[in-house]
Structure 1
Amino acid sequence: MKKALLLLLFSIATYAQIDKVEPPFWWSDMNLSDVQIMFYGKNIAQNEVSVSNGIIIKGIQKTENPNYVFVTIDTKNASAQNIVFTFKNGKKSFTKNYELKQRKENSRFRESYNSADVIYLLMPDRFANGNPNNDSHPSVTEKYNRDLPGGRHGGDIEGIIKNIDYLNELGVTAIWSTPVCEDNDENYSYHTYGQSDVYKIDPRYGTNEDYLKLSQELHKKGMKNIMDYVTNHWGWKHWMMNDLPTRDWLHQFPEFTQSNFRMTTQFDTNASEIDAKNCMDGWFVKSMPDLNQSNPLVLNYLIQNAIWWIEYADLDGFRVDTYSYNDKVGISKWTKAITDEYPYFNIVGEVWMHDQAQMAYWQKDSKIGEIQSFNSYLPSVMDFTLHDAFGTVFNEDKATWDKGIVKVYENFTNDFLYPNPNNLLTFIENHDTQRFNHLYPDFKKYQMAITLIATIRGIPQLYYGSEIGMAGNKDKGDADIRQDFPGGWISDKNNAFTASGRTDVQRQYFDFTAKLLNWRKSKSVIHSGKTTHYVPENNVYVYFRYNDKETVMIVINNSADKQTVKTNRFAENIQKFTSGKDIVTDKVIDLKNEITIDGKSVLVLELKK
């Protein structure tokens, strides 16, 4: 009996050598069949490693840190099963079970988001509190404090799930949630871009199972789940920070070195080496250690983690944070690995630049990148130059050569630079910019902006709350542009999630947005039709979306005054059409001679013969 007890205690002690296994499990029948499994535990590298069931070990990599060992196995012809790793050091040994799961049927060929979608960007902590019991959690430091503008307010995954019907009614077809993995910073952790465990949902949002449930509930409504993925950095509280696998897992300097944020150094032929290095290798902020994607172990870790989340949570796409700050060779390999595994998977990168040629450099198959033999393999980038125009254009009532609605027109004249302009993400604002309704506290200007992104080429993205008139001033701090959605908390007096709970102003914004976006859902002419636009006159912009079956004419009057537009100028697109029905008001407009349009207003006309 005593001997058996000693053996049991020995077994427990040796098994405890494994503190982490990542990925925690994998799947059979994956394109990425060589899986590199990281085992972490005290002096784990001192052991010899073997595996059961005829699985082949293709490589064992140890580093200068004896607490890590990276074991690559070949799963190409393996079925779904449990396998056993044996770790042996002399006469001592212990085992660890590892599961290869059955992959979902047709998982490889999952559809992703595209120009037929409208994406809704939300911040879970600020959207809705569906489960007050997880507002704080003993495993993480920062606790619930809704009174603190930059604190944890209690929004969670369950809050999103409970309001899917609201999103569906609004007419959006996909959600992009800011990161949901654990962020264990002491404060200001609600945005979760400083992740401390990239295989674990932040417990204040819920569990991994809750995140999978979110995808499942969205899919029931024909909607999509887009994960905000961070490749450039982790949080300084990431569990590895106390015991890095290798010193060069991160970019390290003799003293703290912040990125110079000059992304142009990534392709500038005149750039100095030090400037390029500081852009890519410098840390975003002190609390966000910069990951070294040129280290093969790091790169493979990030690739496998991304694929793991797609497969586990049944994801429909990625948005990648600070894409152009990464090592560009490393991030292109990461992107290609994802799209090799999932050929139709869409990924949009945050390339926050102010020049179309520079942004186009980062889109897949760019002719500009080809000059330097570079291909990012990134399907989509965000249309920041259009966002730049939105920042001022609607206050420019008088048109000049370079002011007024011509700014929007000029943005689209450079579409030839992009390999795929219809796969650009268009937006009037996001979680890092000024709130549109703060810049323009005018419903008519909101109408113009939302009509533009709903009817031009690309994939429109709406920022939570704008559809009910929410504002916020970034000059007061980020928390002001990330306020709580009214009605997301039981104690809220105003519940904008319901028609009866909305104020008159909220109802005005919501009803217009919902009518426009729900109309858009079935309009292939908007999703994939061609575009012809006309040089603005008197601050009036006219463009057409058309295909073989349908033509839509959009008229946007950015002037403060009523304008009359002669229709003979647009004969090449109007052709034999004689009238147009405005999809917002249902009024029929005669196209024979001229159109009159009120100041600061829009017409979206389905043309009729």
Structure 2
Amino acid sequence: MKRFFHYHRPSRFNKPSRIIKPAAIINPGRFLTLFICLTFLNSSSAQPLKTEPPFWFSQMHNPELQIMFYGPNISKYNVTVSNNIPITSIAKTENPNYIFVTIDTKNVPPSQLIFSFIDGKKTGFTQKYELKARRKDSALRKGYDSSDALYLIMPDRFSNGNPANDNTSDTSEKSNRTNDHGRHGGDIQGIINHLDYLESLGITTVWNTPLCEDNDPRGSYHGYAQSDLYKIDPRYGTNEDYLKLSSELHKRKMKLVLDYVTNHWGAEHWMIKDLPSYDWIHQFPGYAQSNYRMTTQFDTNASDIDTKYCVDGWFVKSMPDLNQSNPLVLNYLIQNAIWWIEYADLDGFRVDTYSYNDKEGISKWTKAILDEYPYFNIAGEVWMHDQAQMAYWQRDSKIGAIENYNSHLPTLMDFTLHDAISQAFSEDNPSWDKGMIRIYENFTNDFLYPDINSILVFAENHDTQRFNHIYKNNLANYKMAMALIATVRGIPQLYYGSEIGMAGDKDKKGDGDIRRDFPGGWIGDSQNAFSDSGRDATQKEFFDYTSKLFNWRKAKSVIHSGKTKHYIPENNVYVYFRYDDFDTIMVIINNSASEQTTKTERFAESIKSSKTGTNIITGKSIELNQNITIAPKTALILELK
């Protein structure tokens, strides 16, 4: 999540007003919210401005749709709908520009609906709306899992495939590659152009930071302050371009993950400028900053005021904090998420700032999506530094069950492993709590997680210090970290450019420096690291190792779903095994600055009857009935025979 600041003009509801409760309280776990937005030319006629969503789908698991119509004083109208579809409830808020109409679409085939808006005996206007057919077996789509390798892309900084859309008339911030914190012009076409590159790297799944419109006047390139949740930012391309990306990935049997934001919108979102209700966002009145103390979500000793400021406080001033405890807000978010899955044929979500949401609301949001798509995957950003605190947020957690809480979230991001990786490889001389013992100790807490294979493991991402900055582009350290990420339990995630040694200093230069342009992504770049011939010698070493490792991983079910047995590090050497009924992989990581010899007899319970192991990088065979000598700062991955 990108943090940046600019002044947020308060809404016209910046102080408490009389609250008109909805005529019907909608259960967000059961209902979806369909938003149709209209603009009026005058009091007697109307023309549609836009429809949100622009269409919906028939034969959904949840047949109920709650439709929001928007226009000046639209709440004065009565509403009817064609095709004998029943209206089950109508709700109004204190803002007369909104009306919420709930209909039941059960057993309604793909068809055109017509909504009529009636004032007295006169029809003021009508609005067409389409229910489309779903994709075949859409509900059974299989999300990404531990057999996949994710590649995280900051689209604005990856590749500019269409320079014609760098600037548009309907967006504020213009492209300027000299500004580290501004837009550089990368887009969806740039990603499509380099899918062969990703495939050659061993990647199976693409995760982009948000691509929906972010019309903030500055810092909009990261996309986390969205201003239109149904529209791809035109500087990235069109909705059709996003569908093309999804289709091109699926042709290669690769997957697409959308970065979803439930906690906040951007200050430029049209609904923020004319709030449906005072409590659509959290107000104090107006703005108050989050204290970022996510522990207050489950701390039995926490004060109510501290909990409120964590959950209700805004992440930053430019990102109004959404109130998921308002059922109309929650329905909007549920429906928008489902619309993108169905429309763009998605394979998963990564959810930004998951643990800052109202925890009951985000649980209902997650469950509603998984009720519709049981095999879909959602990874939540729970940026905490204690395994028990993180495990609380995973689906069916025994820790959460203590207070009868279930997030329903399938996948967590392993920030404690990231913490260990960021320190361990610079600690050549081990001690009780330094060096490879940090890595070992992280895995000793795996018992806390209900599903340890459904956890995202990474050395860096778009918010953290660059790995290759921490370790000064030390190839040996990089190889050890990648060997770890590729062979431990969970779902590995790479951050774009890491595989060619890209660095950046977040502490001194800010987030823009850890989101540098990929060399070769722009016309006129002096170097093209997307091609083998364009990489320098160092970049080639980084890339070749990464490609060999993750292409090997693709077919190794023992890595995807096998068990783990590890051994307490000695002399800064960490040894662990991944195994199942058919295969065994032995991993030796020597983090010492000197050559080390491991006595294989110590690992007899894991080696069993195997006589040799094959180095998966070099193809050389190593005898297991004698001690193994391993060079300093080296990772060795052996397939046992």
Shorter chain as denominator, the TM-score bin is over 0.9
| Structure 1 residue 32, shift from structure 2 partner | 1.9
- Residue 500 (structure 2) pairs with residue 468 (structure 1): yes
Matches of 2:147 and 2:105, distance apart in 1: 36
2:204 corresponds, among 173, 186, 190, to 173
| Structure 1 residue 255, shift from structure 2 partner | 4.9
- Residue 570 (structure 2) pairs with residue 537 (structure 1): yes
1:206 corresponds, among 231, 237, 243, to 237
Matches of 1:241 and 1:376, distance apart in 2: 27
- Residue 224 (structure 2) pairs with residue 193 (structure 1): yes
Matches of 1:291 and 1:203, distance apart in 2: 25
Matches of 2:194 and 2:102, distance apart in 1: 42
Matches of 1:53 and 1:12, distance apart in 2: 29
Q: Which residue of 2 aligns with 1:378?
A: 409
| Structure 1 residue 206, shift from structure 2 partner | 0.6
Q: Deviations over 1:516-545 (max 9, x none)?
A: 000000000100011111111110000111
1:34 corresponds, among 53, 64, 68, to 64
Matches of 1:229 and 1:351, distance apart in 2: 14
Q: Which residue of 2 aligns with 1:555?
A: 588
Instruction: Report the secondary structure of 1:447's partner residue.
Output: helix
Q: Deviations over 1:569-596 (max 9, x none)?
A: 0001111111111011111111102000
Structure with bigger RCO (C-alpha 8 Å, 6+ apart): 2
Instruction: Report the secondary structure of 1:487's partner residue.
Output: coil
| Structure 1 residue 22, shift from structure 2 partner | 2.0
1:456 corresponds, among 469, 488, 501, to 488
Q: Which residue of 2 aligns with 1:230?
A: 261
Q: Which residue of 2 aligns with 1:81?
A: 111
| Structure 1 residue 256, shift from structure 2 partner | 2.5
Describe the shift of the 1:255–1:240 C-alpha distance in structure 2 as closer, same or farther (beyond 3 A). Answer: closer
1:289-300 to 2 correspondence within 5 Å? Answer: 289-300=320-331
1:493 corresponds, among 483, 502, 526, to 526
1:98-497 to 2 correspondence within 5 Å? Answer: 98-440=129-471, 441-475=473-507, 476-497=509-530
2:75 corresponds, among 45, 50, 59, to 45
Q: Deviations over 1:188-247 (max 9, x none)?
A: 100010000111110100111111111100000010000000000000011112211111
Identity %: 68
Matches of 2:550 and 2:347, distance apart in 1: 20
**Amino acid of the residue matched to residue 455 of structure 1?**
T
- Residue 536 (structure 2) pairs with residue 518 (structure 1): no
Moved runs in structure 1, 4+ residues, more than 6 A?
10-13
Q: Retained in 1: the 8 A contact 2:46–2:124?
A: no
Matches of 2:462 and 2:206, distance apart in 1: 14
Q: Retained in 2: the 8 A contact 1:23–1:38?
A: no
Matches of 2:574 and 2:449, distance apart in 1: 22
Matches of 1:353 and 1:586, distance apart in 2: 39
Instruction: Report the secondary structure of 2:243's partner residue.
Output: helix
Q: Retained in 2: the 8 A contact 1:19–1:41?
A: no
| Structure 1 residue 135, shift from structure 2 partner | 0.3
Instruction: Report the secondary structure of 1:392's partner residue.
Output: helix
| Structure 1 residue 17, shift from structure 2 partner | 5.7
- Residue 128 (structure 2) pairs with residue 97 (structure 1): yes
Q: Which residue of 2 aligns with 1:502?
A: 535
Instruction: Report the secondary structure of 2:453's partner residue.
Output: helix
Q: Retained in 1: the 8 A contact 2:116–2:123?
A: no
Matches of 1:178 and 1:434, distance apart in 2: 17
Matches of 2:589 and 2:492, distance apart in 1: 18
Instruction: Report the secondary structure of 2:408's partner residue.
Output: coil
**Amino acid of the residue matched to residue 137 of structure 2?**
N
Q: Which residue of 1 aligns with 2:52?
A: 22
Q: Retained in 2: the 8 A contact 1:18–1:39?
A: no
Q: Deviations over 1:324-370 (max 9, x none)?
A: 00000000000000100000011010000000000000000000000
Q: Which residue of 1 aligns with 2:635?
A: 602
| Structure 1 residue 13, shift from structure 2 partner | 7.2
Describe the shift of the 1:253–1:12 C-alpha distance in structure 2 as closer, same or farther (beyond 3 A). Answer: closer
Matches of 1:100 and 1:458, distance apart in 2: 38
RMSD between aligned residues? 1.1
Matches of 1:542 and 1:465, distance apart in 2: 29
- Residue 601 (structure 2) pairs with residue 568 (structure 1): yes
Matches of 2:236 and 2:305, distance apart in 1: 40
Describe the shift of the 1:377–1:312 C-alpha distance in structure 2 as closer, same or farther (beyond 3 A). Answer: same
Matches of 2:260 and 2:537, distance apart in 1: 37
Matches of 1:411 and 1:531, distance apart in 2: 13
Matches of 1:43 and 1:207, distance apart in 2: 32
2:93 corresponds, among 39, 42, 63, to 63
Q: Retained in 2: the 8 A contact 1:22–1:39?
A: no
Q: Retained in 2: the 8 A contact 1:17–1:42?
A: no
Give unmatched runs, 5+ long, in structure 1: 1-9
Q: Deviations over 1:367-394 (max 9, x none)?
A: 0000000000000111000001011100
Describe the shift of the 1:497–1:14 C-alpha distance in structure 2 as closer, same or farther (beyond 3 A). Answer: farther
Q: Deviations over 1:389-422 (max 9, x none)?
A: 0111001011111111010000000000000011
Q: Deviations over 1:426-474 (max 9, x none)?
A: 0000000000000012000000001101000000000000000000000
Describe the shift of the 1:17–1:277 C-alpha distance in structure 2 as closer, same or farther (beyond 3 A). Answer: farther
Q: Retained in 2: the 8 A contact 1:20–1:41?
A: no
**Amino acid of the residue matched to residue 484 of structure 1?**
D
Judge which range, 86-95 or 297-306, deviates more: 86-95
Q: Retained in 2: the 8 A contact 1:58–1:74?
A: yes
**Amino acid of the residue matched to residue 360 of structure 1?**
A
**Amino acid of the residue matched to residue 566 of structure 1?**
K
| Structure 1 residue 11, shift from structure 2 partner | 9.6
Equivalent residue pairs, number = 599
1:528 corresponds, among 561, 580, 585, to 561
Matches of 2:263 and 2:467, distance apart in 1: 28
1:586 corresponds, among 603, 619, 628, to 619
Matches of 1:506 and 1:368, distance apart in 2: 44
Matches of 1:561 and 1:194, distance apart in 2: 49
Instruction: Report the secondary structure of 2:399's partner residue.
Output: helix
Q: Retained in 1: the 8 A contact 2:290–2:313?
A: yes
**Amino acid of the residue matched to residue 547 of structure 2?**
A
Describe the shift of the 1:20–1:155 C-alpha distance in structure 2 as closer, same or farther (beyond 3 A). Answer: same
Instruction: Report the secondary structure of 1:78's partner residue.
Output: coil
Matches of 2:44 and 2:218, distance apart in 1: 37
Q: Retained in 1: the 8 A contact 2:67–2:100?
A: yes
